[in-house]
Amino acid sequence: MSVPMLQHADVWRGIDRLAAKHGLSASGLARRAGLDPTAFNPSKRITREGRPRWPSTESLSKVLTVTGEPFLDFVLLTGAHGGDAASNGHAAAGFDQPAVGGRVTHRSTARTIPVMPLERLAGSENFSPAGLPIGPGWGHLDFEGSVDRDAFGIEIVGAEFDPIFRDGDTVIASCKAEIRRGDRVVLCLTAGGTLLRKVVRHDADGYYTETIRPSGQQQFLPQDQIRFAARILWVSQ
């Protein structure tokens, strides 16, 4: 394929989507690549004089290396010349960015997604058995990324998931996205409660998970204790 001419906004859009595709905020992606956590902050994208500031080729190389993404896949994530990110149901996607899985191209369009703070998702009355948001307690988020119509958002409150998800971030998840090893997921339990976890392994018996915050703590959740699992596709700051 030919590589389109990338504009300033395209490159930053690609970085945001790359972060989201891997379940990270822009600052989380920078940190993972060994960069200053503020390197990709919106405030760093324009100089004090109002001129566009570009990420360095070194920083871009580092984030592609640490995420294992080929450059041409990054170009797709930028959406340059109408190209859109590939979505495999992974979301690496990201808020402002899709996930990866089986490769489907689609054009990003603005839409409204139901959203609720994590602390209010303790009960089962907020989801149908299929994992669809129901009930009057949901707010709404105007979202310009590409996700299926049954996706929902969860607002992060507090520092429990630092540095991956920060206070004020919103994660967007969907039950329709295929879940694979290493994905970050939302697990709704039959006994009540909603967990955010990273999948270590998933089989017919259940989910082997670890906490979002790097701690090494692992937990096995039997399949009969899980109402549904939704993969996190985007992370929005």
Looking at the fold, whether 78 and 147 belong to one and the same domain comes out as: no
Domain end point (choices 93, 120, 151): 93
Question: Is 87 within the bounds of a domain?
Answer: yes
Confidence of residue 210 (pLDDT cuts 50, 70, 90): very high
Q: pLDDT > 70: what percent of the chain?
A: 82
Looking at the fold, whether 82 and 117 belong to one and the same domain comes out as: no
Q: What is the pLDDT of residue 64?
A: 92
Average pLDDT over residues 39-51: 81
Looking at the fold, whether 89 and 116 belong to one and the same domain comes out as: no
Average pLDDT over residues 97-119: 56
Q: What is the pLDDT of residue 4?
A: 55
Question: Is 161 within the bounds of a domain?
Answer: yes
- How does DSSP assign 49-88, residue by residue? TS-B-PPPHHHHHHHHHHHT--HHHHHHHHTGGG-----S
What's the pLDDT tens digit per position in 4-17? 577 888 899 899 88
Q: Return mean pLDDT, the chain.
A: 79
Of residues 53 and 147, more confidently modeled: 53
Q: pLDDT > 90: what percent of the chain?
A: 20
- Can you tell me the distance from the alpha carbon of 169 to that of 209, in angstroms, rounded to the nearest whole number? 22
Q: What is the pLDDT of residue 38?
A: 86
Here the CATH number for the domain that contains residue 27 is 1.10.260.40
Report which DSSP code applies to 223: G
Of residues 88 and 7, more confidently modeled: 7
Average pLDDT over residues 32-60: 86
Looking at the fold, whether 125 and 187 belong to one and the same domain comes out as: yes
Question: Is 104 within the bounds of a domain?
Answer: no
Here the CATH number for the domain that contains residue 201 is 2.10.109.10
Looking at the fold, whether 33 and 80 belong to one and the same domain comes out as: yes
Residue spans of beta strands (DSSP E) within the chain? 22, 92-93, 111-117, 139-143, 152-155, 170-174, 184-189, 194-203, 206-211, 218-222, 226-236
Looking at the fold, whether 218 and 186 belong to one and the same domain comes out as: yes
Looking at the fold, whether 136 and 184 belong to one and the same domain comes out as: yes
Looking at the fold, whether 124 and 222 belong to one and the same domain comes out as: yes
Confidence of residue 124 (pLDDT cuts 50, 70, 90): low
Confidence of residue 225 (pLDDT cuts 50, 70, 90): very high
- Domain total of the chain: 2
What's the pLDDT tens digit per position in 140-194? 887 776 777 888 999 988 888 888 888 888 899 999 888 988 899 999 998 888 9
Domain end point (choices 67, 93, 119): 93
Domain end point (choices 33, 64, 93): 93
Looking at the fold, whether 84 and 147 belong to one and the same domain comes out as: no
Question: Is 67 within the bounds of a domain?
Answer: yes
Q: What is the pLDDT of residue 177?
A: 87
Average pLDDT over residues 87-113: 42
Looking at the fold, whether 127 and 229 belong to one and the same domain comes out as: yes
Looking at the fold, whether 77 and 135 belong to one and the same domain comes out as: no
| Domain ranges, residue 215 | 111-236
Whether the CB-CB separation of 30 and 56 falls below 8 Å is answered with: no
Residue 78 pLDDT more than 50? Answer: yes
Question: Is 173 within the bounds of a domain?
Answer: yes
Residue 34 pLDDT more than 80? Answer: yes
Report which DSSP code applies to 103: -
Average pLDDT over residues 19-26: 86
Bridge partners (DSSP) of residue 112 are 142
